[in-house]
Structure formats: structure tokens, C-alpha cells
Chains A and B, each alone.
Chain A
Amino acid sequence: MNIIKRLLTIVLCLLLIPATAVVTAAVKQRFADGPNRFFSGGPLIAGEMHTGSEPDWSFVNDITTIELQLVDPPRSRRIWTVEHEGKLYVWSGYMGTTVGRWWKGWPPQAERDGRAVLRIDGKRYERQLVRITSGDALDGICKAITDKYPSRTTRGGVEAGDVWLFEAAPRT
């Protein structure tokens, strides 16, 4: 019994080292201007804020990832995006699994308060995230997603809540 206890202590102590690495990296990123790839970043500070008319969002189809920051809480992450019929969309997969929901904390936050700032190619845009859960438009949006990314996003997945899809609408 004593040996098992001691082995367990050793394993937990050794696990402390990678855990420290992960926590330190996450905390470090939290104080940065924007996210890196996995850990949330701080508020998006740098970059000109877009003003004026609605942009032609088709240019995002040539961009792999954008930075998304919610106003509340003011944390940012790097996500995929797609344009479809002049509208801009962002989404979160893995929402049907426990690990996914723990990992992707921003979709429920965005549903509560959709005010967001996007930074694309160094330029910031104030947007309002509006969740889409149904509708015929999902077919076209999902096709745009799967055409652009190696993604298996489907209308059924969105309707089932496995994928949380948001339109990044103009801020009103």
C-alpha cells in the first residue's frame, strides 16, 4: 500500500511539470494582444478600426484564420471563418462532446453577449455575433465551410448543436 502511495506521488509530481508548462503558456498568452493558436489571448488592441460601409467580405475566403475577441469577457481566440452570400460566419465545432464544450468556452459567452471584435489582416471590425441554429441558409453556409476547410460541418450538425454557428453581423 505504501509503495502504491509513493508511486502515485511520484507520478503526480512528474505531471506537475507539463501542467506548469501549459498553465504558464496560457497565462502568458492571456496578456498578449490577441491569441496565438490554442490559448486565448487578451483584447485585440493593435490595428485600425474599420468604420464606414459594410465591407465586401469575400476577401476572407482567401484567409485561413481570423482573430475573434468578445467584448465580455475580453478574450480573443483564433478561428476559422467563411463568407457566404455577402455575410460573414464563424463557428465552433466539438460542441457535442464534454471536452469540446470545456475547450470551446466562447460560444455560450457569445450567445449571452454577442458583441465582438474581429481582426482580419491587421484591421479590426466591430461585429455582433448572432447564433444560427436552423434554416435553409445552413446548406449553403456548410457547403462554403467544407469547400474552404477540411471540415465535416453539416446542416444536421449545426441543428443538433454539435457545431455552433454564428453570423458576424454588423453591430447595431
Chain B
Amino acid sequence: MKVFYQCIAVAVVITALAVAFVPGVDEYVEATAQGIVGSWAR
């Protein structure tokens, strides 16, 4: 499990950096979140 936790920690950091700095990633995340929340709200 220790390796799994380390992998998750690395994935979380990479995800945060990608969303923050890679163009287009935040757009993708926003569009996906909008679709999911929009369907829940109906």
C-alpha cells in the first residue's frame, strides 16, 4: 500500500500542476464538471 499512496500523491501533484499551468487542461476540467453537475441539478 505504501507504493500506492506514493503514486496517488505524485498523481495529485501532477494533476494540480497540469490544471494550473498546462493550457486547455483547466478548460477540460471545467467543461466536465459543468456537464456532471448540470445533469445532477436537473
Contact = CB atoms under 8 A, between A and B. Distances in A.
A63 interface: no
A94 B8 contact: no
Interface stretch (A22-30, A44-52, A81-89, A131-139): A22-30
Given A17-B12, A21-B19, A24-B20, A36 B37 contact: no
A37 B42 contact: no
Interface residues of A, number: 23
A14 B8 CA distance: 7
A103 B41 contact: yes
B14 to A, nearest CB: 9
A37 B29 CA distance: 11
A139 B12 CA distance: 50
- Secondary structure at chain B's binding surface: helix, strand, loop or mixed? helix
Contact of A29 (B11, B12, B30): B30
Interface in A1-38: 6, 9-10, 13-14, 16-17, 20-22, 24-25, 28-29, 36-38
B5 A21 contact: no
B11 to A, nearest CB: 5
B42 A25 contact: no
B30 A13 contact: no
Contacts of A25: 19, 26, 29-30, 33
Interface in A83-107: 94, 97, 99-100, 103
**Which of A25, A28, A29, A94 has the most chain B CB atoms closer than 10 A to its own CB?**
A25
A17 B26 contact: no
